[in-house]
Amino acid sequence: MREITAQRWNIKAYISLHSYGQRILYPWGHQTHTYPVDVEDLKSLANRMAGAIRNYDGTIYEVMNAGDGLCRL
- Res 52: pLDDT: 96
pLDDT in tens, 15-39: 776 667 899 998 888 889 999 999 9
Long-range CB contact pairs, 37-45, < 8 A, 24+: 39/65, 45/13
Sign for the CA dihedral angle at 5, 23, 30, 65 comes to: positive
Give strand pairing partners of 63: 24
Give the pLDDT mean for 53-66.
93
- Res 38: pLDDT: 92
Q: Please tell me the pTM assigned to this model.
A: 0.75
